[in-house]
Amino acid sequence: MTQAANQPTDEKMPASPGLPLIIHTQYVKDISFENPSAPHSMRQGLPAPKMDLNINLDARNLDDLKLKDLYEVTIKISAKAMRDGEAVFIAEILYGVAVSFQDSVPQDQRHPLLMIEVPRLAFPFVRQIMSDLTQGGGFPALLLGPVDFYAMYMARFGKEDQPLKEAIN
């Protein structure tokens, strides 16, 4: 392989047909697994721990001279397993996605696309990383179910909007 083949380019990857945004890259920004009660927490016959799961989303504009309207969307998933008042494990992932928009995307549709569509596209990757992380920590794989990012957006930012719903579907 030549050195040039290993170098990232600044060119946009072509967007998928019908997708109004371009995904430039996806990456783990931070990852953590704590196993504070090991090896006692892994004994056979113990009751299943109680899970506390939190998902947080954020989006910010990245200053980039070459790419107009470059954004970073982050998905943070925190999973804490508790048994008898003690932490069994704590797993956290902060996952980032760098995206830009097609020129035709109106300003009023950009925020919902960042906070609904980008997390929807990235979630399968985050789910797999969380599953592998907990399994690597000695526990059964944590299998996260589907997440309704539209409902999360509506709960956080406002009421039902039919044109918005049509734009993201």
Domain with residue 30: its CATH number is: 3.10.420.10
Residue 65 belongs to a domain: yes
pLDDT given for residue 113 in this prediction: 94
pLDDT given for residue 41 in this prediction: 81
Q: d(Cα 44, Cα 26) in Å, to the nearest integer?
A: 38
The model's pTM: 0.80
Residue 125 belongs to a domain: yes
Q: d(Cα 12, Cα 22) in Å, to the nearest integer?
A: 7
pLDDT over 70 (residue 17) = no
Residue 99 belongs to a domain: yes
Q: Among 97, 90, 93, 117, which residue's Cα sits nearest to residue 20?
A: 117
Number of separate domains in the chain: 1
Residue 169 belongs to a domain: no
Report pLDDT digits (tens) over 91-138: 999 999 999 988 778 888 899 999 999 999 999 999 999 999 999 999
pLDDT over 80 (residue 5) = no
Query: Which residues form the domain of 73?
Result: 18-158
Residue 100's DSSP bridge partners are 22, 70
Residue 85 belongs to a domain: yes
